[in-house]
Amino acid sequence: MTHTHDENRLPATHAVHGRTDRTYRSAIFPIYQTSTFAVGESSDFAALLDGSAEDAFVYTRYGNPTVANVQEKLARLHHAETAFLFSSGMAAIAAAVLATMQSGDHIAVVRPIYGGTYGYMGSMLPRLGITPHFITPEQAYALEQHVPQARAVYFETPANPTTLCVDIAAVVAAAQRVGAKTLVDNTFASPINSTPLTLGVDLVIESVTKFIGGHSDVISGAVLGRAEYTEALHHQLIYFGGCASPLEAFLVDRSLKTLSMRVQHQNAAALRIAEFFAADARVKRVYYPFLPTSPDYAVAKKQMKGGGGVLALDFGELEDAVAFVDHLQLVVNAVSLGSVESLVTIPVLSTHARVAEEERALARVTAGTVRLSVGAEAVEDLLADFAQALTHVRQFA
Ligand SMILES: Cc1ncc(COP(=O)(O)O)c(C=O)c1O
C-alpha cells in the first residue's frame, strides 16, 4: 500500500496521517532520537549539503525526520508552503519577527497580545534597532494614518486573555496599502478554527504548547507561510538554535492525531459553558467569540469555524473571582490553555500581575477577570463544578 497526501482531504485526516516509516513499516511514524546522521561515503556529504538528496538529514538542529513529519502536517493544516517547528511559541514569535525585519525597520504591534510577546516587542526589538509602535485594532485597520512606515503588522486573534478578535482581512488590506507584511499569532484558534494564510496573512505563528500539544506536557512553537520565507525562517532556526527536539516533536505528532476532535469538543463545550455563565447574574460579563452577545461575535463568525476553547468571565471584583476559582474542585488553577484538563487563572494575580492598568484596560482585564480554558472533561461535570463554585460568589448588584 502506498500512502499519498491528497490536499483536498479534510483537516482531521491531515492531522492523523503524516509520513510513513519505510524501514520497518511501523504504523506510527517513529521518533528519530538522534543529534546526527551518518553518511555511507564521505563524498555523500556534497549532495546532503546542497539539498539535492531527498530527505537530506545531516544534523538535528538543521532538520530531523520526526520534526519534519510534524512540520509537514502543520503545513497541510494551515495551507502553508513552509513550516518550521521551534522549541517554544516565544522562539517561533522571535523567529517570525526577525525573519521579516531588520535594523531600522518599524513594526506595528496590535494590542492586546500575550504578555511575553509584548515584553519581547517592547524591550528586545529596540535593542536591535527595530521600533515597535503599539496600536489598537481600529488603528491597524487604518494603518496608513497611524504607522505608514510599518514594515510589518503583528497581531493576535483571538487575543489573550479575553478572546478579543481582530479582523484578519481588514488588517491584511490595510497592511497591503502601505506595503507591510502581516504576522498573526493563531494560538487561541488553532488551525482547526482558523487558517489566516488563506486570508492573505504572510506568516502564522502557533504556540504549539497550547491546543496543538493539548496535554500540558510539551513546550513548542511553529511558524508557517509561503515558500519565499523558507530560507529566512530556516536561518532563524539554525543560527539562533531554537529547534524542537525529536522527543517533543514526537509528542506533538501524537497530539495532532486528536487535534480536530479535541478542538471540536472544546468549541461545543466552551459555547455551552459561556451560555451557562451568561445566564447567571453573579457573572458581570462573559467574553466568548461565538456567544452572540460578545462584542467579537461578528468578526469571529466571519473568520473562525468555531469559537475555540477559551472564554473569560468578569466578576467585577477580585474577591469574587478568587472565591469562584478557589472553590473549583475539578478545574485546575494554572496558567496556560488548550489542554485536555480545564484550566483557570485570574490574570491580575498571574499573567497580568505586572501589567500596567492601561494595558489591562486594553485587554479588557479587570480585577474580577477569570480566564477559563475548557478541556475534554464531560461538560455536565464541569457545569456542576462551576455551579457549586458560584454559590461562593456574591450577587452582582
Ligand atoms: C497567545 C500566545 N502566544 C504565544 C505564547 C507563548 O508560547 P510558549 O509558552 O509556547 O512560548 C503564549 C503563551 O501563553 C500565548 O498565550
- Tell me the per-residue pLDDT of 53-64, one tens digit each, with 9 for 90 and over: 677 899 999 999
pLDDT at res. 55: 79
pLDDT in tens, 88-138: 999 999 999 999 999 999 999 999 999 999 999 999 999 999 999 999 999
**The CA-based dihedral angle spanning residues 316, 343, 376, 273, taken in that order and rounded to the nearest 10 degrees:** 0
Contact 300, 294 (CB under 8 A): yes
- Position 137 scores a pLDDT of 98
* 84 three-class SS: strand
Ranges of each domain in the chain: 11-256, 259-390
For the domain made up of 259-390, give the CATH fold.
Answer: Aspartate Aminotransferase, domain 1 (3.90.1150)
Q: What is the pLDDT of residue 92?
A: 98
Cα(298)–Cα(300) distance, integer angstroms? 6
Tens digit of pLDDT at every position of the chain (397 positions): 556 778 889 999 999 999 999 889 999 999 999 999 998 898 888 888 776 667 789 999 999 999 999 999 999 999 999 999 999 999 999 999 999 999 999 999 999 999 999 999 999 999 999 999 999 999 999 999 999 999 999 999 999 999 999 999 999 999 999 999 999 999 999 999 999 999 999 999 999 999 999 999 999 999 999 999 999 999 999 999 999 999 999 999 999 999 999 999 999 999 999 999 999 999 999 999 999 999 999 999 999 999 999 999 999 999 999 999 999 999 999 999 999 999 999 999 999 998 889 989 999 999 999 999 999 999 999 999 999 999 999 875 5
- Do 369 and 313 form a contact (C-beta atoms < 8 A)? yes
* CB contact set of 59 (below 8 Å; sequence gap of 6+): 35, 36, 37
Ligand 1 atom 2 nearest Cα: 114
Which atom of ligand 1 is closest in space to residue 188's alpha carbon? 1
Per the CB < 8 A criterion, the answer to whether 156 and 130 are in contact is: no
In a mutational test of the pocket of ligand 1, which residue from 111, 160, 252 has the highest number of ligand atoms less than 8 Å from its CB?
160
Atom of ligand 1 lying closest to residue 221 CA: 10
| Lookup result for grid cell 510534524 | 70
d(CA 48, CA 46): 5
Ligand 1 center to residue 44 CA distance, Å? 40
CA–CA distance, 166 with 157 (Å, rounded to integer): 5
Nearest C-alpha neighbor of 10 from the set 191, 168, 248, 187: 191
How far away, in angstroms, is 280 Cα from ligand 1 center?
31
Q: Is 392 exposed, middle or buried (0-12, 13-18, 19+ CB in 10 A)?
A: middle
> Is 303 within 8 Å of 199 (Cβ atoms)?
yes
What is the per-residue pLDDT for 391? 96
Is the CB–ligand 1 distance for residue 248 below 6 Å? no
Could you tell me if 336 and 218 are in contact, meaning their C-beta atoms sit under 8 angstroms apart? Answer: no
Question: What is the reported pLDDT for 7?
Answer: 81
CATH for 11-256, options being 1.20.150.20, 3.40.309.10, 3.40.630.40, 3.40.640.10: 3.40.640.10
Q: Which three cell numbers stand for residue 53?
A: 538528496
Taking alpha carbons only, the member of 274, 281, 224, 213 closest to residue 247 is 213
For residue 356, what are the CA distances in angstroms to 169, 340, 359, 388? 30, 32, 5, 33
Sequence-ordered list of residues with C-beta below 8 angstroms from that of 118, at least 6 positions apart, any chain: 109, 111, 359
Kindly give the distance from the C-alpha atom of residue 106 to the centroid of ligand 1, in angstroms, as a whole number: 23
d(CA 316, CA 311): 16
d(CA 46, CA 33): 24
The protein residue with its alpha carbon nearest to ligand 1, atom 8, reads 89
Phi/psi for 159 (5° steps) reads -90, 145
pTM of the model: 0.97
